[in-house]
Structure 1
């Protein structure tokens, strides 16, 4: 598509003289800027810090879509999301989901059970590191009917990335207190339930399932969509050893498939 200069200038004009913006105001400014440059169907912005529940800063979903893309995602599936793991690694830039996904992601149970509900053809994210070990990811999504981003539009997004990064660091520079408040609220909830305040949600799942640290590492990678070969390379062990550990985990948990593994994981996470 051709650049909409009128729309682009209008988006820039909204920022002139503004030392601060609300989440909705900055999110809308970002949406209008991107809409002047490329075609997309949805925008969603999450902030990530460690293994903590991501904070949703802005999105363009209707109420029904919001349940799938935000509410369900924050309830636990984010822990298996390639964008989440890329944010945790503190990688920056404009990145495609398909470039970040593990080798078996698109045949994984997570993909079939959760991600396929989104009906997306492609997702591209601006990964921006801010203070306090926080990464903000601004995602542009295209539905299957729209198709993937053409190479020319992806190149445009790469060119505008420095501007987006500077905007994010200016207008979303103080997110740490919001994560701290979320942790405090979560700690109160866990204390009421008699759970340990120190454990992150995923860590509590593995503790409750009585898996060893090695078994935990392997199961996490399986659920993320890594093959046994990929897991072996990541953990520096043989493919055969990975398969032995997987069989032991399945036997310990009384299951026989990745479908049951994901179901058990999400049930314990909830």
Structure 2
């Protein structure tokens, strides 16, 4: 059997991806891996739940530029999102394109014109994986242009192993989320102390406050309102604390402090 250099490179990247399983960098590395076979502009990992706002697990760093992107979505727009509606119909695990799940006049709706086209793009692919009793796990790839048939085909080719890998990754994420929800008072104290100590250099008290508000789900606009500061100042604090902690997005901040070992300062920052 002959093995091409391109095959070796593929398996090398796959090995690097598997090394990240259970680590905060897994979803970004997976997105980068998929970026080798399909062109897309943004990505997000979320859990669709019945009659609840979707849970955002990880997202593209570029989404930070739109502070209220997921705030608006989770506040209610998700209810008219075609992928959310489809997720509530007991879908089979697989890869789905926007045109597969959206109504035929979807692009004529105000939701598409006012929100989807501006914040998501022209086309969207989602790997959907039902999780028994918990919801439907989604890895969404969004593009400002329509996906080509060849790009969709290559993603489809990866589905048989990618979907089980997503299930494994969710098991780690679910464990972290459960740990965060237990003993909230003690968790808050440990988190605040960890935030003060983990920064390099150490976070200021104001940066600690901003970090806690980010973890609670506040947008930059909401952080500015809560702390009585300008949005520009809030953005500066967020940028500085991310730099000090060695993360690039809210998801990284959450995963960094979700596990008890990380909160106690024994897990290194990636």
TM > 0.5 fold call = yes
Which moved further from structure 2: 79-88 or 101-110? 101-110
CA contact (8 A) 2:17 2:33 kept: no
Per-residue CA shift, 1:157-210, capped at 9, x if unaligned? 11111111110111102666748988xx9xxxxxxxxxxxxxxxxxxxxxxxxx
Distance in 1 (alpha carbons) for counterparts of 2:60 and 2:10? 19
Establish whether residue 160 from structure 1 lines up as the match of residue 161 from structure 2: no
Per-residue CA shift, 1:82-103, capped at 9, x if unaligned? 1111111121311111221113
1:104 aligns to what?
105
Q: Deviation at 1:121?
A: 1.8
Aligned residues: 177
Unaligned runs of 5+ in 1: 186-270
Which moved further from structure 2: 90-99 or 9-18? 9-18
Establish whether residue 28 from structure 1 lines up as the match of residue 25 from structure 2: no
SS in 2 for 1:89: coil
Distance in 2 (alpha carbons) for counterparts of 1:16 and 1:34? 14
CA contact (8 A) 2:63 2:69 kept: no
Q: Deviation at 1:119?
A: 5.8
Q: CA RMSD in A?
A: 3.0
Distance in 1 (alpha carbons) for counterparts of 2:121 and 2:61? 13
Unaligned runs of 5+ in 2: 185-270
Distance in 2 (alpha carbons) for counterparts of 1:5 and 1:67? 40
1:120 aligns to what?
121
Distance in 1 (alpha carbons) for counterparts of 2:180 and 2:50? 15
Instruction: Go from structure 1 to structure 2 and tell me whether the alpha carbon gap of 1:5 and 1:107 turns closer, same or farther (over 3 Å shift).
Output: same
Taking the TM superposition and a 5 Å limit, the aligned residue runs for 1:21-170 are 21-22=22-23, 24-62=24-62, 64-91=64-91, 92-118=93-119, 120-143=121-144, 147-170=145-168
2:14 aligns to what?
12
Scaled by the length of structure 2, the TM-score of the pair is: 0.57
Scaled by the length of structure 1, the TM-score of the pair is: 0.57
Distance in 1 (alpha carbons) for counterparts of 2:41 and 2:48? 23
Q: Deviation at 1:71?
A: 2.4
Q: Deviation at 1:5?
A: 5.1
1:201 aligns to what?
none
Q: Deviation at 1:131?
A: 3.0
Instruction: Go from structure 1 to structure 2 and tell me whether the alpha carbon gap of 1:83 and 1:7 turns closer, same or farther (over 3 Å shift).
Output: farther
CA contact (8 A) 1:44 1:59 kept: yes
Q: Deviation at 1:66?
A: 4.2
Instruction: Go from structure 1 to structure 2 and tell me whether the alpha carbon gap of 1:39 and 1:33 turns closer, same or farther (over 3 Å shift).
Output: same
Instruction: Go from structure 1 to structure 2 and tell me whether the alpha carbon gap of 1:138 and 1:17 turns closer, same or farther (over 3 Å shift).
Output: closer
Distance in 1 (alpha carbons) for counterparts of 2:135 and 2:67? 24
Instruction: Go from structure 1 to structure 2 and tell me whether the alpha carbon gap of 1:132 and 1:39 turns closer, same or farther (over 3 Å shift).
Output: same
